[in-house]
Amino acid sequence: MPVLSDRVEVPAIAEKRRPRVLIIGGGFAGTHAAKALANQPVDVTVIDRRNHFTFQPLLYQVALAVLSPANIASPIRAIVSGKQNIEVLMDEVVKFDLDRRQVDLKSGARMEFDYLVLATGATHSYFGHDEWAQNAPGLKTIEDAIEIRRRVLLAFELAERQMLETGSHPPLDFNVIGGGPTGVELAGAISDIAKRYMSHDFRHIDPTKARVRLIEGGPRILAAYPEELSGKAVEQLAKLGVEVHTGVQVTDIQEGYIMAGEKRINSVVTIWAAGVQASPLGKMLGVETDRRGCVLVNETLNPNGHPEIFVCGDLAHFEQEGKQIPGVAQPAMQMGDHVGKMIKQDLSGQRRSSFRYFDKGDMATIGRMAAVARIKWPFKANWSGFPAWITWLLIHVLFLVGFRNRVAVFFDWIYNYFTFTHGARLITGSQDLPGWDSQPGVHESAKTTPLDQNSPGARTA
């Protein structure tokens, strides 16, 4: 961690103009920082390469056709609408000049700052195998979600067509790599829509026979959760028909299959949820970073020696009680709020207050009426099943941006719950599915793979 000083030097601000605050990134941390500075004596510019904020905890529901993209995204301009001191630019940072306090943008523009708030989040990490991305998309953006939705739904459509034309089709094997919350949610949702929502939609195939595997390299899924909840998650996934394999290291991903050592596992759709790395802007800043590219920050969220720069959200490596706080929405929102508070303290000549993350708990949904929740506030409890699912629904509706989105998502969930229908099952873009043509025939596919035979290190629910 950077060395902390007893006093923080406030950036030199020109006397004849208001301080300029550049916020890079329009996610949870960036939008919260902007709103915290609304109507303050500063000029704020929010810069993002997209014009919208994405509510990432519900991205998997777009990927599995539960919600439409518009339900979980809001224009950044709408979020700061009416805030006279805030402007929004759709652009991308390509260079920092910290000595001159300037940033260069992809458009060619150059902007000066008195305060810089860097909150550009994280992206996928394929652990040195970026070539896997083409065959195993991850889930970080609306575009990622639409691509995963296209592949999952297309697999069923191609199977229906091939069954009609030839009388057989490759097995519908879906593999999700990574047993964290995103992987658990994706695996559960794929099984959910196949077995509950699409079971009567096709004439020639049986979607309920789709096979969903969740593959985790560690000893258990949801490793950050208590072991009790990890076990409950495995039980609930098993009820949905998801096979959980732990202690399995994926060594290669190709079109139509993945490799775990010498074991080949057939896969019509592979989804990556195994690793993340910080936005490249962290290293571009030229300050100290950790192995994932997260910027090491002190108790006031500054890189060492740069009190004018704040780093928030997934891009920040902030430790509390000897542990790095997680890269999820809660700390990002709290960091953004705290940055706004500290800048206001600077303007009023007060000493900056240290950031402290208030952990209210974690939760992950698994499927219809299935979830796990570790509650830390306003009371402590570990829940699973229906109570955790209801808690998850209410909290996520509450934190959605915009009244329209809250109402739309709430009624979509209620309608889907009682009618067993999904209204966003749209396939857009290409009708080619990587690896479909290389899938084995129906007779060959009946053979089990070594992974399916409970090999050492593999746990099958």
Exposed (0-12), middle (13-18) or buried (19+): which is 372, by Cβ within 10 Å? buried
Whether residue 268 contacts residue 257, with contact meaning beta carbons closer than 8 Å, is answered with no
What's the rounded Cα separation, in Å, for the pair 250 and 262? Answer: 10
Q: Which of 185, 216, 243, 308 is catalytic?
A: 185
Tokens of 342: 């500290």
Long-range contacts of the stretch 289-298 (C-beta < 8 A, 24+): 289/317, 290/317, 292/122, 292/125, 295/118, 296/1, 296/2, 297/2, 298/1, 298/2, 298/3, 298/4
SS3 content of the chain, % helix, strand, coil (to 5): 35, 25, 45
Exposed (0-12), middle (13-18) or buried (19+): which is 102, by Cβ within 10 Å? middle
Tokens of 36: 């915290």
Q: What is the largest CA-CA distance in the chain?
A: 79
Tokens of 351: 């000493």
What is the phi/psi pair of residue 165, to 5°?
-80, -35
**DSSP alpha helix (H) spans, 263-328:** 281-284
Is 308 catalytic? The answer is no
**DSSP alpha helix (H) spans, 306-453:** 329-347, 386-399, 403-419
Q: Which residues are catalytic?
A: 185
